[in-house]
Amino acid sequence: MTFTFVTLFSNLIEGYFHDSILKRAMEKNLFSVKYLNPRDFSTNKHSKVDDTAFGGGAGMVMNPQPLFDALDSLREEDENVHIVFMTPVAKPFVQNDAKRLAKKSHVAFVSGRYEGIDERVIEKYADEVFSIGDYILTGGELASLVVCDAVSRNIEGVLGNSASLEVESFETPLLEAPSFSKPKLYEALGVPSEYLKGNHSKIRSLKLALSESKTKFFRPQELKKHKATQKLS
């Protein structure tokens, strides 16, 4: 699996892969990361990549030419590359998207900057567009990293224990039950006693009840979905 970040600012991204789980996964060749800078493709004598917007409006817009040429070169190199644009106006990225994208051989993330990207680039090259939430970031690099991180932990072998994927929140309508670690008592705050007794069937029942109450609090609609599927089965 290859991830390509199409960005003017690869240095904002690189450090994230220098440590922890994703670094180890790259060392095991489970995926690799490449960078493509649209500025390297600019035919402007000053390597400009942006200009004022037609129709007025504040701020600059990323020009088509450097991005068209960068993305053509990417597609020439690998016709199977799946090109994803990050934009706040798109459908929100969710866990199912992460699982689906983890099965691709090559995903490229295109990061906008300034006031965004000339719409013609998105229309011509986007296989998919995602938002990471209803707020505006200064650029797409953080959004691309968020999506890449969520995708990469669904690549076989990236997580030491793949069982941890199965019980996580968003795998089912229920959110994951609360977790606790040592010590049993910290600043007078204890751990639910059933967690400590080793009776796995009782622990499972308690975790289910806690999952339900957490979901009821944070995602009441999802709890309704869970109850409806239980009635059907």
13 binding ligand SAM? (CB under 6 A): no
Residue 139 CB, nearest distance to ligand SAM (Å)?
A: 5
CB of 47: closest distance to ligand SAM in angstroms? 20
229 binds ligand SAM (CB under 6 A): no
| Amino acid residing at 103 | K
Rounded to a whole number of angstroms, the CA Rg of the chain reads 22
Candidates 19, 20, 56, 135: give the one binding ligand SAM (CB under 6 A).
135
How many other C-beta atoms lie within 10 A of the C-beta of residue 148?
23
Q: Smallest gap, in angstroms, from Cβ of residue 85 to ligand SAM? A: 7
Put the strands of the sheet holding 106-110 in their side by side order.
32-36, 2-6, 106-110, 82-86, 128-130
Under DSSP, the state recorded for 39 is G
d(CA 171, CA 87): 25
DSSP 71: H
CB of 141 to ligand SAM, least distance (A): 8
3-state helix/strand/coil string of 159-215: CCCCHHHHCCCCCCCCCCCCCCCCCCEECCEECCHHHHHCCHHHHHHHHHHHHHHHH
Picking from 118, 109, 115, the residue whose alpha carbon sits closest to that of residue 138 is: 115
The length of the chain is 233
* Short-list 56, 50, 69, 64, CA closest to 114: 50
CB of 198 to ligand SAM, least distance (A): 44
108 scored as a contact of ligand SAM (CB under 6 A):
no
Residue 139 or 192 with smaller CB distance to ligand SAM: 139
The answer to whether residue 63 forms part of the interface with ligand SAM (CB under 6 A) is no
Binding of ligand SAM at residue 64 (CB under 6 A)?
no
If one asks whether residue 12 binds ligand SAM (CB under 6 A), the answer comes out as no
The single residue among 4, 7, 42, 111 that binds ligand SAM, judged by CB under 6 A, is 111
Among 97, 115, 149, 171, binds ligand SAM (CB under 6 A): 115
| 140 interacts with ligand SAM by CB under 6 A | yes
Smallest distance from the beta carbon of 208 to ligand SAM, in angstroms?
Answer: 34
* Site for ligand SAM, rule CB under 6 A: 86-89, 111-113, 115-117, 131-133, 135-140, 143
